[in-house]
Structures are given as structure tokens and as C-alpha cells.
């Protein structure tokens, strides 16, 4: 059987004008993940990422560490199917409908860095509405559309994959959540309960045979835990 390693990007710039930029900690996390992959002596046959900056930069920093260890690395390929869902578009579309129940929501979401717990609570409420399909908005990618996009990316990998290949995909938490839902058939809300726990630069592994893939491990971040520095373990 072959393996597909799904690696979440490093910490992005939460609360900044441009979220899609690795923070200095995110760069360090990516470098640590790369050294961990090199220590495991993993030889990758293909390397892919979405086209978001935080995904591609995580890939570059991690792969540089693998290369520095003397291991071969394939050229990084881009597939936008592995992009994260557009959280800002979802917030813009669905937040107004939540204001009658949550009149402070706009202020909370506008200053997320000052109250991350309340931001997360409101964000989860909005995502629940998105998952339900009852609040679909013209022009906004639906939950099912997102799942189909991500699954199509996985299908393309499987169509080209050969037995016993190792493939790595640098992606995002929502993308991994969609794949968990698609592969295990658990409810979307339950998949997101797992998805909120996905650590920056954690590894989840799929095993595949032909066109069939199975979840083999989820959210491993031992490369961060072994350093015994809690500040390395982040979720945004």
C-alpha cells in the first residue's frame, strides 16, 4: 500500500491584515516538521500543496530541511483543490443573519485577536450554518461543493499514484476535515469537532490501494511535543 501524508500549514498571521502569511513561529514549525520527516527517512515520490501562500511556504521550508539532510525531494506541484475554504467569504455572507441572535458578533469578529475565545464561538456558529446547507448564498462555495473539490483533488492523486508511493500534501485544517468526512462518512459537525483540534504542521496519513484511500492516522504532532515547548503547539 502507498501513503499520502497530509500536513497542515504552519501558524498563519491571525489578526493581521493578511492572514495568509506564515508567522515567524509558523516558519519555525515548518522547519521542525521538515527535520522530523527527514529523521523518519521518508522518501517522497510527489509533493503537492494548494496555492495559498501559507501552504506553499510551509512546503518550501519543510522541503528545504529534507533536502539539507541529503534526501531527494520532488518538485513542488500546485493543486488549488487543496486550498482552504474561504472563511472570510463565509463570514461576510452569513454573519449578518446571525446578528439578531448575537448583536455583539460584528464587534467580536472585527477584533478577533483581542477575544479569540469569543471569536471561535461565533465562528463555530457560522460554520454550523454553512454546514447545514440551509443558509447557502449565491456565489458562495457550499460545504458540499467544498467536499467535492477536495475529493476531486484526492482522486487525481490516486489516479496517478503507483503502489507503495509516498506522497505529501501541504494543506489546511478545513481541507483535512473535508477528507475525514468524505473517507469516514462521519457527520460534518462531528468532522469539524475533530478539525478544530488539528495542530499547525501536524501530520495525518492516508493509506491507499488503487483508487481506495483509508484514514490511517490523524493529527500527529510528536515533532512539536518532543521539543517540550508548549508555545510551538498552535491551532491557527
For 75-117, what is each residue's pLDDT tens digit?
A: 999 999 999 999 999 999 999 999 999 999 988 888 777 788 8
Any domain includes 138: no
For the segment 54-68, what is each residue's pLDDT rounded down to a tens digit? 999 999 999 999 999
Question: What domain count does the chain have?
Answer: 2
DSSP 167-232: EEEEE-HHHHHHHHHHHH---HHHHHHHHTTPPTT-EEEEEEETTEEEEEEEEE-HHHHTTT-GGG
140 within domain boundaries: no
- Domain presence at residue 188: yes
Same domain for 73 and 21: yes
53-68 helix and 24-39 helix, angle to the nearest 10 degrees: 40
Q: Does residue 42 sit in the same domain as residue 156?
A: yes
Domain C-terminal end among 97, 132, 167 = 132
Q: Which segment of 16-20, 107-111, 143-147, 201-205 scores lowest on mean pLDDT?
A: 16-20
58 and 100 fall within a common domain: no
Q: What's residue 113's pLDDT? A: 72
36 inside domain? yes
Checking if the pLDDT of 45 tops 80, the result is yes
Terminal CA-CA length for the chain? 32
Residue 229 burial class via C-beta count within 10 angstroms: exposed 0-12, middle 13-18, buried 19 and up: exposed
Looking at the structure, do residues 161 and 225 belong to the same domain, yes or no?
yes
Mean predicted confidence (pLDDT) in 204-219 = 97
> Last residue of a domain, which of 101, 132, 163?
132
**Same domain for 168 and 220:** yes
Whole-number pLDDT of residue 181: 97
Q: What integer is the mean pLDDT of 222-226?
A: 98
Domain assignment present for residue 180? The answer is: yes
The predicted pLDDT at position 19 comes to 78
**In this structure, are 64 and 24 located in the same domain?**
yes
Residues 192 and 121 in one domain: no
Predicted local distance difference test score (pLDDT) of residue 15: 63
Task: Write the CATH number for 226.
Answer: 3.40.50.1240
**Model pTM score:** 0.94
Residue 141 lies in a domain: no
Share of the chain above pLDDT 90, in %: 90
In a domain, 177, yes or no: yes
Percentage of the chain beyond pLDDT 70 is 98
Residues 11, 65, single domain; the answer is: yes
Q: Are residues 167 and 53 in the same domain?
A: yes
Same domain as 162, residue 66: yes
Is 139 part of a structural domain of the chain? no
Q: Mark whether 169 and 78 lie in a shared domain.
A: yes
Query: What is the rounded average pLDDT for all residues in the chain?
Result: 95
Domain residue limits at 60: 2-84+146-232
Q: Are residues 184 and 172 in the same domain?
A: yes
Amino acid at each position: 500500500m502507498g501513503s499520502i501524508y497530509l500536513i497542515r500549514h504552519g501558524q498563519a498571521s491571525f489578526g493581521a491584515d493578511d492572514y495568509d502569511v506564515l508567522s515567524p513561529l509558523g516558519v519555525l514549525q515548518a522547519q521542525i516538521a521538515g527535520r522530523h520527516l527527514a529523521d523518519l527517512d521518508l522518501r517522497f515520490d510527489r509533493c503537492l500543496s494548494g496555492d495559498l501562500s501559507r501552504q506553499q511556504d510551509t512546503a518550501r521550508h519543510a522541503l528545504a530541511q529534507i533536502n539539507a539532510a541529503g534526501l531527494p525531494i520532488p518538485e513542488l506541484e500546485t493543486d488549488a483543490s487543496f486550498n482552504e475554504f474561504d472563511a472570510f467569504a463565509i463570514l461576510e455572507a452569513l454573519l449578518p443573519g446571525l446578528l439578531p441572535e448575537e448583536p455583539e458578533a460584528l464587534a467580536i469578529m472585527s477584533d478577533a485577536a483581542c477575544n479569540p475565545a469569543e471569536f471561535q464561538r461565533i465562528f463555530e456558529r457560522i460554520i454550523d450554518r454553512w454546514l447545514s446547507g440551509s443558509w447557502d448564498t449565491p456565489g458562495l462555495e457550499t460545504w458540499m461543493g467544498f467536499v467535492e473539490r477536495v475529493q476531486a483533488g484526492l482522486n487525481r492523486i490516486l489516479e496517478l499514484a503507483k503502489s507503495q508511493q509516498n506522497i505529501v500534501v501541504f494543506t489546511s485544517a478545513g481541507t483535512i476535515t473535508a477528507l475525514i468526512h468524505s473517507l469516514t462518512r462521519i457527520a460534518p459537525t462531528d468532522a469539524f469537532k475533530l478539525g478544530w483540534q488539528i495542530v499547525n504542521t501536524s501530520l495525518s496519513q492516508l493509506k491507499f490501494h488503487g483508487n481506495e484511500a483509508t484514514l490511517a492516522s490523524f493529527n500527529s504532532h510528536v515533532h512539536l511535543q518532543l521539543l517540550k515547548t508548549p508555545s510551538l503547539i498552535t491551532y491557527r
